[in-house]
A = this chain, B = another copy of it.
Amino acid sequence: MKKNAISPTRAENYAEWYQQVVDAAELAENSPVRGCMVIKPWGHALWENMQRELDDMFKETGHRNAYFPLLIPKSLLEKEAEHVDGFAKECAVVTHHRLIHAADGSLIPDPAAELEEPLIIRPTSETIVGVMFAKWIQSYRDLPLLINQWANVVRWEMRTRLFLRTSEFLWQEGHTAHETESEAREEATRMLDIYTRFVEDYLAIPVIRGVKSDSERFPGAIETYAIEAMMGDCKALQAGTSHFLGQNFAKAAGIEFQGRERGTRQFAWTTSWGTSTRLIGALIMVHGDDDGIVLPPRIAPAQVVILPIHRAEDARAVVDEYVDVVASRLRSLRFSDRRVRVEIDRRESRGGQKQWAWIKKGVPIRLEIGLRDKESDSVTLSRRDRESSEKMSVSLVDLPETIMSLLDQIQRGCFERARQFRSENTRTISHKSDFEDFFRPQVEQQTDARGGFALAAWCGDKACESWAKEALNVTIRCLPFDQSHEDAGSGCVVCGKPRSTVALFAKNY
């Protein structure tokens, strides 16, 4: 029987499998601070790669980075009523600016240093950005204003899961202001396009693009666009979101400018958009298997790991020298417009143990190099997306071409497998009983459980949406842009009233 590196397997207990993969790949762990995680070097390197690719895409489309304060005065948050209601119940409140020793010697917040107005740790920055935009934007000539921020945010969570739901997380938040409504709508769509391209082409995760229903919309937005991905347990995860904010925040913050026509004053149209370290959770759940995480090459911190094998002490120097030759040859290659990332693991531990460490960490290609390989001018290659025992010998001459072609093949393979899986677990459903059957008997934490993505007609009524949530714990993930699902029926899958739209229903993270 095949033994797996991760226990339990996905089929045995998906939630626990996830936790074990995060642990085994050394991606992150819980901290002594309630709800806050520590992102470990391997997880952080993944995030850095995501940051670099996204940042380049943002800059190519004219955005520039800035940094806004971590702390937001309560009164600022209150300016947009819907917005504050959305975040007030889960925010960290700073009330004092000093600790002093109490009579018993312990430290307490100094009553003499209580803030006149509490400060909120940003759950998102629309309000504080709005105040600054109001200062910076005086004329239509100052528009569009296209800003992005890489930052940490805090949204208090009672039940947390590494990467997926933590009180503090890292993200980027774009904030833009435009002269006209159509320009702002275009921007919101453009950023969703960028997220789509990044998530599909780099993370190798296929997504469904659409607009959120009223109840899932960002607090204060007119329209929220999102990309939704299917995880390995058939649940949905929102992989990126972009909001058309209309003039709501502009009016709240007074982002008003001199229009093109003399003497006219008008409010700006704004957008905001974000992705976060949640994407690492998505990577794990889309590509991971029972041996750990599987990293698409374009995002992997190391695309190739070299494991020198020292059997005879007197051959050590020879092997090491050969390893350096191989590494530098590979590092001179470029894949996806970056230098190929090669790691050499010279640690003194058993070969098998080292192999498995890198399997669990998801590195696409492993090269074992011992004296025999050196003597035959070759390397022994294995792939993360094949059985660990499946090895092939590649001559040094062929190595660059082989590596380039394999990285490309593995990248496309990741995407294709994910697309195949999603397709197998997506149904177009037109009857309520089928809808219930699809979701209801699902035994949680079994990959072979039923459920998945259901495309079904919806009348647009909140009551039907609530019914799905309450009866089946299923929500509308989005109203897909692609509405070409004729077989979804003409009547709402819940109440039978005329269809207003096709909705994507699923359980979700």
Contact = CB atoms under 8 A, between A and B. Distances in A.
Interface stretch (A12-20, A117-125, A201-209, A385-393): A117-125
A118 B110 CA distance: 12
Contact of A73 (B32, B73, B106): B32
Contact of A71 (B36, B48, B90): B36
Contacts of A84: 99, 107
Tell me which of A40, A69, A106 has the highest count of chain B C-beta atoms within 10 A of its own C-beta.
A69
The copy count of this chain in the complex is 2
A67 B92 contact: no
A71 to B, nearest CB: 5
A197 interface: no
A449 interface: no
A322 B38 CA distance: 51
B98 A89 contact: yes
A81 to B, nearest CB: 11
A96 B90 CA distance: 10
A332 to B, nearest CB: 15
Interface string A100-117: 100000111100000000
A91 interface: yes
Contacts of A68: 31, 38
Contacts of A141: 348
Interface string A32-74: 1100111111001101100000000000000011111111111
A71 B107 contact: no
A5 interface: no
Given A31-B128, A93-B109, A38 B67 contact: yes
A109 B88 contact: no
Contacts of A32: 73, 76, 128, 131
B109 A92 contact: no
A432 interface: no
Contacts of A90: 97-98
B98 A96 contact: no
Nearest to A87: B99
Contacts of A154: 70-71
B33 A119 contact: yes
Given A38-B69, A39-B66, A77-B107, 19 more contacts: A31-B69, A32-B128, A32-B131, A33-B71, A36-B71, A37-B69, A38-B67, A41-B65, A44-B64, A44-B66, A44-B67, A70-B168, A71-B92, A71-B154, A88-B99, A89-B100, A92-B119, A98-B156, A99-B120
11 contacts: A32-B73, A33-B69, A33-B119, A36-B69, A44-B65, A47-B67, A91-B97, A93-B99, A93-B109, A121-B121, A141-B348
Q: Which 4 A-B pairs have the closest CB atoms?
A: A36-B69, A41-B64, A39-B67, A93-B96
